[in-house]
């Protein structure tokens, strides 16, 4: 990892390794896994932005969105949040699913929502929380799940907006990074 991209996240400087994707595009790789301090820091700032939308429930896709959403939910006093899984688990036989093709994997993936999470979302104001938005494919899949579950997306919040996602007027984010 010779190349580094430095980003300012609400006054905190983070050095991100530049990594190649299978498509040949390079990204400034952002990873919250295992980084308690950075996750807590970002969650505090995201929660401040999301509160004004007054969501009833949060949703994320595993895996990189899990810890940020957990911390945002805690900061907002929410006891539960919905998780779209990438693999159908035994307890999800009566849930719903959608397809997504994200920039990171370049492959078609499925996102699954359990019946429990469908009930959590039904008739509710929902905020989508995740680490990075780029092409918007994962976000669109989450929006589709929320619609199928009978919820209404009122907010989309991310730590980073990558590439042209920074120009979207329908997302909240803490900092922008380029595709390299």
Q: What is the pLDDT of residue 102?
A: 59
DSSP letters, the chain, are ---EEEEEETTEEEEEEEEE-TTS-EEE----TT-HHHHHHHHHHHHHHHGGG--SEEEEETTTTHHHHHHHHHHTT-S--EEEBSS--GGGTTSEEEEEE-TTT-SEEEEEE-HHHHHHHTT-EEEEEEEEESSSHHHHHHHHHHHHTT-EEEEEEEEEEEGGGGG-SS-EEEEEE-B-
* 0.75 surpassed by pTM: yes
Q: What is the pLDDT of residue 97?
A: 83
Q: What is the pLDDT of residue 101?
A: 63
Domains and CATH numbers, the chain: 35-177 (3.40.50.2020)
Each of the 180 residues of the chain gets a pLDDT tens digit; together they read: 589 999 999 999 999 999 988 878 889 999 999 899 999 999 999 999 999 999 999 999 988 899 999 999 999 999 999 999 887 766 667 778 888 765 555 667 888 899 999 999 999 999 999 999 988 888 999 999 999 999 999 999 999 999 999 999 999 999 999 988
């Amino acid at each position: 990892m010779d190349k580094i991209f430095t980003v300012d996240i609400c006054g905190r400087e983070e050095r991100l390794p530049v990594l190649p994707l299978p498509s040949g595009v390079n990204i400034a790789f952002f990873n919250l896994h295992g980084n308690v301090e950075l996750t807590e820091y970002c969650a505090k700032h995201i929660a401040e932005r999301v509160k004004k939308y007054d969501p009833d429930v949060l949703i994320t896709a595993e895996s990189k969105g899990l810890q940020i959403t957990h911390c945002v939910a805690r900061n907002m006093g929410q006891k539960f949040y919905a998780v779209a899984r990438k693999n159908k688990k035994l307890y999800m036989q009566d849930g719903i699913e959608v397809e997504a093709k994200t920039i990171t994997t370049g492959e078609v993936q499925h996102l699954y929502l359990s019946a429990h999470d469908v009930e959590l979302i039904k008739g509710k104001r929902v905020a989508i929380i995740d680490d990075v938005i780029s092409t918007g494919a994962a976000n669109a899949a989450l929006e589709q799940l929320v619609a199928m579950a009978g919820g209404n997306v009122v907010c989309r919040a991310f730590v980073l907006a990558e590439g042209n996602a920074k120009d979207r007027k329908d997302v909240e984010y803490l900092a922008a990074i380029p595709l390299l």
